[in-house]
Amino acid sequence: MSNTGHKSEARSDNFIFTIGKSESLRYSVQSSNITEVMLNQTNYPVRGKDLKIPSNKVEHSPLILDLVISEDYSEWIEIYKWMLSCKNTPHDKIMNYMVPCELTAIDSQGKETARFIYTDCWPTSLEGVTLTIVDNDSQIVTANVTLNYNRFVIVDKDGNEITEDYVGYPG
């Protein structure tokens, strides 16, 4: 595939992370993964040999965030409360606490370039916060959060949704 125009490199500091549908739950994130996507394989029997072909199942790795913690530790506390709500909710009502999360990539001019949407998210791990006294510059306090989810959707720069049902070859 040829590149007909100059494109700027992606930068890891140009993104916004939102939990749930509320704009008020935006978190500053020091780092995040988009997701690792694994296409499983299956055997296709032919005479004398089984061929390996792509299966119809895709698996994704968990979403891991390194949240920036503010002075009131509200980010860490909110994730902890979310975890406790999931733990203490009957299974028939748990979907109320599984929410969409979105990682939005921003270009160097501040325009949205892609959205990575994780549906039915819930926290599975919240790293403890390490408090340290440093003699030189103060350090940003962060905590790792791991989220599981059920579906992954990409919205590209043109607004096209790419779901697991996508059919077509990009070439």
When divided into structural domains, the chain yields a total of: 1
Helices and strands, counts by H and E, the chain = 1, 11
Domain assignment present for residue 7? The answer is no
Domain assignment present for residue 4? The answer is no
Domain assignment present for residue 171? The answer is no
Domain assignment present for residue 3? The answer is no
d(CA 14, CA 117): 16
Q: Which amino acid is at 145?
A: V
Q: What is the largest CA-CA distance in the chain?
A: 71
**3 state SS for 56-118:** EEEEECCEEEEEECCCCCHHHHHHHHHHHHHHCCCHHHHHHHCEEEEEEEECCCCCEEEEEEE
Residues 125 and 144: beta-carbon distance below 8 Å: yes
Question: pLDDT confidence of 31, banded at 50, 70, 90?
Answer: confident
Question: Which tens digits make up the pLDDT trace of 83-129?
Answer: 999 999 888 888 888 999 998 888 878 788 899 999 999 999 999 88
Residues 82 and 97: beta-carbon distance below 8 Å: yes
Global pTM reads 0.77
122: domain CATH number is 2.30.110.20
Any idea how long the chain is?
171
Domain assignment present for residue 88? The answer is yes
Domain assignment present for residue 110? The answer is yes
Residues spanned by the domain of 45: 17-162
Q: What's the token pair of residue 109?
A: 């001019």
